[in-house]
Amino acid sequence: MDLQLQAQEILKDNWRDGFSIPTAKLYPFQWLWDSGFVAMGSGYFDLDKSIQEIKKMFSGQWGNGLLPHILFHSETEKSYFPNFDFWNSNINKGAPHFPKSSGITQPPVFGFIIHQLLKGNPKNEKLKSFITDIFPKVVNAHRFLYNYRDHKKEGLFYIYHPWESGRDNSPIWDDALNRIEITPGSIPSYQRRDTQIMDASERPTSDKYDRYVYLLELGKKYKYDGKEIAESSPFLIQDCMMNSILIKSNDSLIQIGKEFDFDTSEIEEWQSLSTANFHNKFWNDDINYFVSYDCRSNEQILHKEIGGLVPVFANLANKSQVEKMASYLTNIHERGYYLCPSFDIDSPLFDSKRYWRGPVWPQMNWMISEGFKNYGYTDLSNIIKDDFIELVTKLGFYEYFESEKDKVKTLTKGYGGNRFSWTASSIITFLNND
């Protein structure tokens, strides 16, 4: 069966009642950015399904605008930790009672996702009327970030939990997490589920997990939107990738708004503040790379990590910066790695197998390849695309992949969950989007 058909089959299997799970067993609910990428891929063969997927995601939006990172559409499915009862998000008055949800967010992808759907189907009336309905909700999700998460009014929002970044276990969070002291009684007792399902060597360590629980409890204490979070969280980071995606999505909303004759003045104000501060905050001249910013230590986090390539997707890099990013990736390619490893291959913290510490991730490759394509780096963009397609062809539709070519030669499968939705949807998007 060809790749596109296999991918469609997987998305069909992962479809539940109006939404897609990322993969059976490990992730049995709806995740925010997974859902966005799935909606984009489905748009190439079943637009109705993508519309339903996005509607279902926004059925979980809170009164304050927050779009949760997980919607627990089933309350009887108990195989995941932390479940809806552990989050207890109804301590926030604006959190819906159904679907139940987590209390934190994930990358704000829906602005650029709906724009992508519109570009592929510019005359579809059903899509246009859907966009008219969903537009204010997407704007409201951005408003949440500007109102509740931009404590310095810089137009750059913070996250207080690594799970919000989508890159849960990246080494860039290590220092901030190590600030958290776990003492007896500082966190409730809990039982992980992920390591019962997956190989523990591919998953975060239990020290890390304690700290994830600590930050969850901190959010809960302040009802997930209190200003005390910014005052007291040991983990408070302006993430370069999250803010790039916000800016990319703002830009999409502005373009859609102009086409549909919606008022975009509020988004334009956000956008000018965000873009004005982006470079000073995130570019680092010493390592020639975009980095994230730790608001507790007031320093940039000096690592070459995959999120630092996403400004290219958001058209935020100037000519010389994009050139530097391109030679960084070309060098990695020439040294025998698949693009794009999620972390600096020369760092002692690099681990080509462990979650977000080195492997290749499908949806990241799509964003980065798209970014370089738009800057005119066609060859590099194609390498990023072809590497991903080769990995899926060799190793299957896994959640993420080994980045060292020599190691791949000895492997028969990828890492993490199999028959993974974002892998399938990234394949479809790549194959249909030249």
Decide: is 173 part of the binding site for ligand GLC (CB under 6 A).
no
User: Closest CB to ligand GLC among 109 and 117?
Assistant: 109
31, 173, 401, 430: which one binds ligand GLC (CB under 6 A) = 31
Decide: is 29 part of the binding site for ligand GLC (CB under 6 A).
no
User: Closest CB to ligand GLC among 303 and 354?
Assistant: 354
**What are the two backbone dihedrals, phi and then psi, of residue 297, each rounded to the nearest 5 degrees?**
-95, -5
User: Closest CB to ligand GLC among 34 and 225?
Assistant: 34
Strands (E), 26-93: 30-31, 70-72
Amino acid at 265: S
Which listed range, 31-39, 81-89, 133-141, 312-320, lies at the site for ligand GLC (CB under 6 A)?
Answer: 31-39
Q: Is 168 assigned a catalytic role?
A: yes
Q: CB–CB of 61/134 below 8 Å?
A: no
Alpha carbon distance 209, 217 (integer Å): 12
User: Closest CB to ligand GLC among 20 and 238?
Assistant: 20
CA 355, chain centre distance (Å): 14
Reduce the DSSP state of residue 400 to 3 states and report it: strand
Which listed range, 26-34, 57-65, 82-90, 173-181, lies at the site for ligand GLC (CB under 6 A)?
Answer: 26-34
Residue 167, token pair as written in the block:
């890159």
Kindly name the residue from 168, 175, 210, 266 that is annotated as catalytic: 168
User: Closest CB to ligand GLC among 375 and 420?
Assistant: 420
Residue 39, token pair as written in the block:
């909606």
Q: How many of the chain's residues bind ligand GLC (CB under 6 A)? A: 7
7, 34, 203, 424: which one binds ligand GLC (CB under 6 A) = 34
- The secondary structure of residue 346, as a DSSP letter, is T
10, 11, 14, 22: which one binds ligand GLC (CB under 6 A) = 22
166, 171, 204, 358: which one binds ligand GLC (CB under 6 A) = 166
**What are the two backbone dihedrals, phi and then psi, of residue 294, each rounded to the nearest 5 degrees?**
-90, 110
- For the segment 265-324, give every residue that binds ligand GLC (CB under 6 A): none
From residue 133, give the alpha-carbon distance in Å to each of 114, 139, 140, 160.
12, 11, 12, 30
Q: Name which of 336, 394, 388 is nearest 362 in CA terms.
A: 388
Residue 206, token pair as written in the block:
């239990």
Which listed range, 30-38, 73-81, 141-149, 304-312, lies at the site for ligand GLC (CB under 6 A)?
Answer: 30-38
19, 33, 135, 173: which one binds ligand GLC (CB under 6 A) = 33
Alpha carbon distance 91, 93 (integer Å): 6
Which listed range, 29-37, 42-50, 199-207, 382-390, lies at the site for ligand GLC (CB under 6 A)?
Answer: 29-37
We find the least distance from the C-beta atom of residue 325 to ligand GLC, in angstroms, to be 22
Decide: is 175 part of the binding site for ligand GLC (CB under 6 A).
no
From residue 233, give the alpha-carbon distance in Å to each of 73, 91, 161, 228, 295.
29, 19, 9, 8, 10
Decide: is 168 part of the binding site for ligand GLC (CB under 6 A).
yes
We find the least distance from the C-beta atom of residue 213 to ligand GLC, in angstroms, to be 15
Amino acid at 286: D
Decide: is 37 part of the binding site for ligand GLC (CB under 6 A).
no
User: Closest CB to ligand GLC among 168 and 174?
Assistant: 168
Decide: is 193 part of the binding site for ligand GLC (CB under 6 A).
no
Longest Cα separation, the chain: 60
We find the least distance from the C-beta atom of residue 94 to ligand GLC, in angstroms, to be 23
Long-range contacts (CB closer than 8 Å, 24 or more residues apart) made by 193-201:
193/79, 193/80, 193/81, 194/26, 194/81, 197/25, 197/26, 197/79, 198/26, 198/416, 198/417, 201/353, 201/354
Kindly name the residue from 150, 305, 351, 399 that is annotated as catalytic: 399
User: Closest CB to ligand GLC among 33 and 224?
Assistant: 33
- For the segment 217-246, give every residue that binds ligand GLC (CB under 6 A): none
Residue 368, token pair as written in the block:
């980065």
User: Closest CB to ligand GLC among 38 and 229?
Assistant: 38
Rounded to 10 degrees, the C-alpha dihedral 99/189/357/353 comes to -100
What is the CB-side half-sphere exposure of residue 321 using CA atoms within 13 A? 20
Residues in touch with ligand GLC (CB under 6 A): 22, 27, 31, 33-34, 166, 168
User: Which sequence positions are flagged as catalytic?
Assistant: 168, 399
